[in-house]
Structure 1
Amino acid sequence: MEAIPDQKHYNLTHYQQRFNWDCGISCIIMILSTSQRNVLLHDFDKICAEEGFGSSTWTIDLCFLLKRFQVRHEYYTKTLGIDPSYSEHSYYTKIINKDEKRVTRKFQEARLHGIRVEQRTIEMEDLLKHIGKQGPVILLTNASLLTCEICKKNVLEKFGYAGHYIVLCGYDLKSQLVFYHNPEVHDEHVCRCTAAAMDIARKAYGTDEDVILIYRN
């Protein structure tokens, strides 16, 4: 691995999601500056309506929201658009019919809006390198497979696939731990698990291995 600090941690202000669908927006709220955060919270319903996602967000929606607040980022995914096989998956059945046109259009228009979307997967080594040098990372995970060593007893158990966004905010190379903010958690502690465990949660079927790299500078 290219030389990076042995430890890195970004001090983000934790924010707990208010609904069962806004984990991705909550991750963005943690990344925004205080003034930007206040704007998003104050105009929450208006902004959601203008962005067009109603009460279900896809990663491309989050990218457009980040662009709205001028946060430099890059989006990497296995699938440009919607994986056709998801239409047969119980988690996605209801939302695909509602969201497909919007999501497809946003993928098609991303470049016109200055949003970088690339079809490839990112390995943990590259995520750690980015965190060590550039900024935090928003990940789509299967919440059923998230295994925080601190609060695992406090998070509701789920079964099957449950798409859930988190913010990867640090690491410790010596212990092979990664640190993250889970918007589902009510208190402000930072969650942690092994890098290997995080890989299992973020590479699960249904996630498309979606990664948003945030550039702080």
Structure 2
Amino acid sequence: MRREFAYRGVIANKENRRDTRASPPPPSLPMLRRTVWHEVRHHRQRYAWDCGLACVQMVLPEQHARQLETNFHSICQDEGIAKSTWTIDLCYILRRFALPHAFYTLTLGAHTGYKQAAFYSSIFASDEDRVNRRFAEAEALGLRVRRSSLTLAGVLARLRRGPAIALIDSSRVACPVCKRNRLSVELRKCLPIPLPAPAYLGHFIVLCGYDLRSRAIYYRNPARHDHYCVMSLETFEESRRAFGTDEDIIFIENSKVTS
């Protein structure tokens, strides 16, 4: 039995206790391949702010990942990165290693609505010029940046070509494999009166595949140890569309697909 299928049924068994059997594919996703899987090496982030860079290491060829690891601080200095990374920064590093990719986002620049958000307040002023300049220069440098809101079907269809780096609100995610955030998220679902959404906590993860039969999406989390995490498609949609993410997602191309 292959590694990814060790997690099949986790979502069905732990998030949908009324029926422990794997569910049929969602009716809104009838034309998609039922299962997609990419083997992705795990890299753990060094600091609280470099989850995106760890995700880049995961999707790079092994030789280039080692170069990024060895020259981490000098590359950050060259790229103008201090102690925060935006999705466009990750695209520039992927370009540095000539890895084909496509970046989808709602905002072509630093979203000014985030200035007062707690997560961004300490970094926005220092990062705004760099982020806006990088967006402005992206096309001339050959980077594929698209202003677009993708449907869930659109995200899953593109995952056939390779893994993806996604920006999510990690405060909304509970992985039943590693139990991260599980208690707080499940408790909120049980309360009869909806509570305000928790404070946004931006985090990059690497999407490795999905299984429509169990409504699961598999991913690597740079903040955790070396194992594959899993969440439901519904949780993924909520977390990737949360205010603060701009629905940012980078699709990596030319990767072997295992199903």
Aligned residue number for residue 176 of structure 2? 149
Which residue identity does 1:146 align to in structure 2? V
For residues 74 and 7 of structure 1, the distance between their equivalents in structure 2, rounded to whole angstroms, comes to 22
Cα deviations across residues 20-69 of structure 1 (Å, max 9, x unaligned)? 00000000100011100111111110001001111110000000011001
- Work out whether residues 109 and 131 of structure 2, in 8 Å CA contact, stay in contact via their aligned partners in 1: yes
Name the structure 1 match of 2:214: 175
Alignment match, 1:110:
138
Shift of 1:3: 4.5
Q: Rate the CA distance shift 1:145–1:190 in 2: closer, same or farther, 3 A.
A: same
Equivalent in the alignment of 2:192: none
Structure 2 Cα separation of the partners of residues 146 and 127 of structure 1: 18
Rounded to whole Å, the distance in 1 between the matches of 2:251 and 2:53 is 15
Q: Which residue of 1 aligns with 2:19?
A: none
Residue by residue over 1:144-178, the C-alpha shift from the partner in whole angstroms, topping out at 9 and shown as x without a partner, is 01121211247897951111000111101111111
Aligned partner of 1:184: which letter?
A
Q: Distance between the aligned counterparts of 1:18 and 1:131, measured in 2?
A: 27
The count of corresponding residues between Structure 1 and Structure 2 is 215
Question: Root-mean-square deviation (CA), in Å?
Answer: 1.8
Greater CA radius of gyration, 1 or 2?
2
What is the SS of the residue equivalent to 1:161? coil
Q: How does 1:1-217 map to 2 (within 5 A)?
A: 1=29, 3-132=31-160, 134-153=161-180, 159-186=198-225, 188-216=226-254
Once residues 122 and 224 of structure 2 are traced to their aligned partners in structure 1, the CA distance between those partners, rounded to angstroms, is 26
- The aligned amino acid for 1:122 is L
Post-superposition Cα deviations, 1:55-89, rounded to whole Å, max 9, x if no partner, equal 11000000001100111111111111111111111
* Unpaired stretches in structure 1, ≥5 consecutive residues: none
5+ residue gaps in structure 2?
1-28, 186-197
Give the direction of change, closer, same or farther, for the CA distance of 1:52–1:157 in structure 2 (3 Å limit): farther
Question: Percent of aligned pairs with the same residue?
Answer: 40
- 1:100-140 CA-partner distances (Å, limit 9, x unpaired): 110010000001110011111111111111112x1111100
Looking at structure 1, the residues matched to 183 and 84 of structure 2 have their Cα atoms a distance apart, in angstroms, of 20
Change (3 A) 1:2 1:110: farther
Q: How far has the Cα of 1:90 moved from its partner?
A: 1.5
TM score, norm. by length of structure 1: 0.94
Answer yes or no: is the 8 Å Cα contact 2:32–2:153 preserved in 1. Answer: no
